[in-house]
Amino acid sequence: MPTVRVQLASDPTTARRVRRLHQADKIHHDSREAARAEVRRLGWTPAADPVFIGLTNGNPPRLIYETEVDSETTR
């Protein structure tokens, strides 16, 4: 199944919180829903929950999520 990778703007405090939750096998629900909304905004239909991949090294950091999408979705 194809995947779409999105980057979400964040601030250092939120980025640290998301990374800590991910390391503890927990989910930051607000950022996951934002990733799902971004995938839909790009014209894809999510087929699964977004998966946190990591952070960029930029300042401010960006959250990276990957989401499986339906291959039948047209852009």
> Residues 48, 26: contact at Cβ < 8 Å?
no
Mean pLDDT of 32-53: 95
Distance CA 6, CA 60 (A): 16
Judge whether 75 lies within some domain: no
Rounded mean pLDDT of 10-32? 96
Evaluate whether residue 62 is within a structural domain: yes
Q: How large is the average pLDDT for residues 13-39? A: 96
- Helix ranges (H only) for the chain are 12-23, 29-41
Asked if the model's pLDDT at residue 35 lies above 70, the reply is yes
pTM of the predicted protein model: 0.90
Do the domain assignments include residue 46? Answer: yes
CA-nearest of 45, 68, 52 to 7 is 52
Task: Specify the number of domains making up the chain.
Answer: 1
Domain, as residue range, for 7:
3-68
Tell me, what's the pLDDT at 32?
A: 97
- Whether 9 is covered by a domain: the verdict is yes
Q: Is residue 45 part of a domain?
A: yes
> Do the domain assignments include residue 43?
yes
Q: What mean pLDDT value characterizes the chain?
A: 93
What's 46's DSSP letter?
B
Q: Is residue 29 part of a domain?
A: yes
Confidence of residue 72 (pLDDT cuts 50, 70, 90): confident
